[in-house]
Amino acid sequence: MRTPPDLTERIGPMFAQRPTDDSAYEFYDAIREQSPFAIPGLNMVCVGKYEHVAAGFRLPGLVKQDPERRDRKHPGWRDRIGLAQFYQSLLWHNGDTHRRLRGLVNKAFTPKRVADLSGGVTEIVTGLYRDMAAAGREADLARDLCSRIPMHVIGNLVGVPTADQFELLPHVLDFLLVIDPVHAAEATERAVASGQILHDYFLDLVARRRRSPQDDLASALIAVRDDSAALSEAELIQTVYLLFAAGFETTSNMLGNGCVALLTRPEAAERLRQGHARAFTEEVLRHDPPLHFVSRIAEEPVVIGDTRIEAGTEVVFLLGSANRDPAAYNDPHAFVLDRSRTPLASFGFGSHFCIGAGLARLEGEIVFGTLLEHFPGIALSGKPVRRKTFNMNGYECVPVTLS
């Protein structure tokens, strides 16, 4: 049985600064065959092969760092209310608690419910196209389109009024920096302040929806809370908070990555004009995923491949590496719409498979399928600027001329 090799000296620089362009994928190529590998100083093992990632997600001995485990590793975290709300939400629970909370939310994300949202998403996208055209020939797709679409979609679904969505956006972006290794330390105070603002807002939103229910997810969850014991008041606030805060950031990154792909790959753009938005969306998610890694805790000794991982170790699944593994995808660095569709690592596997995957795909298909139709002469007017984050993988600026 193999023990994971120590690659601290090689991987350290990757976490010290945001990789540029394709450097993360070059790094994955260099270390993938040694996966799983260890960073002993962090009590961490990283997994980069597709086969190992897909299997590892499903191992019962690998669990989320739930509130009780977080107490042992990060004492005092509950004192910061915004962080406490996020880290006590369904995203971080295991077993029966996770199944119960996820079961309540799943009803809003069934394939039929997502398909029913298509008209509303199209209306949002078309309205933003009109706004961009009215503002002039220059635009920033990251700011004017890619961040706003998922913000409106999940905001409307949850029940956040449109005017409030814009005010909450910068607080969500600040808050989510705390889960990125490049910014976690420096961003903690900003994240704490923004987390408090978000907590206070959703506390008030729940009170308003309780007084005046609407056709939205917040009102539906309030009805569950008030009519049964299936949801506590704290869980109600945490769930609404989570769905909005985590519900648009990765989709925004995916849309930005796809816009850059279609503006820099003429052959792919031509395929989009021929109606291949679904295949294009899948390839964007594989080729440049919006999230590079997720982690679990080894509750007991586990074996991944031929490697033994000890109990208590943090296991990091490198999604970007798995999606470019040549053992899973032929010519993995090429952007190919017609490739055979091995299930993506981008949304995870198993019980924590991304609950919003279908909605993200729908938004991608609508945007990528209509952008060139509305702006046939659209072109980059400068170099797109990557976000200065490692895990959250996207663009902070995509400058274009519309015609």
Q: What is the pLDDT along the chain (403 residues), one digit of tens a residue?
A: 889 988 888 776 665 555 566 788 988 999 999 999 999 988 999 999 999 999 999 999 999 998 888 888 778 878 877 778 888 889 999 999 999 999 999 988 999 999 999 999 999 999 999 999 999 899 999 999 999 999 999 999 999 999 999 899 888 888 877 666 555 556 677 888 888 899 999 999 999 999 999 999 999 999 999 888 889 999 999 999 889 988 788 999 999 999 999 999 999 999 999 999 999 999 999 999 999 999 999 999 999 999 999 999 999 999 999 999 999 999 999 999 999 889 999 999 999 999 999 999 999 999 999 999 999 999 999 999 998 877 889 999 999 999 8
Report which residue type is found at 84: A
Q: Where are the alpha helices (DSSP H) in 57-135?
A: 67-73, 81-87, 95-106, 111-116, 118-135
For residues 218 and 240, is the Cβ–Cβ distance under 8 A? yes
Q: Which has the closest alpha carbon to 142: 345, 366, 367, 294? A: 367
CA distances from 309 to 82, 224, 305, 315, 352 (A): 33, 41, 10, 8, 21
Q: Which domains does the chain have, with CATH numbers?
A: 8-401 (1.10.630.10)
Two tokens at 364? Answer: 């991608």
Give the global pTM: 0.93
Say if residue 130 is exposed, middle or buried (CB neighbours under 10 Å; 0-12, 13-18, 19+): exposed
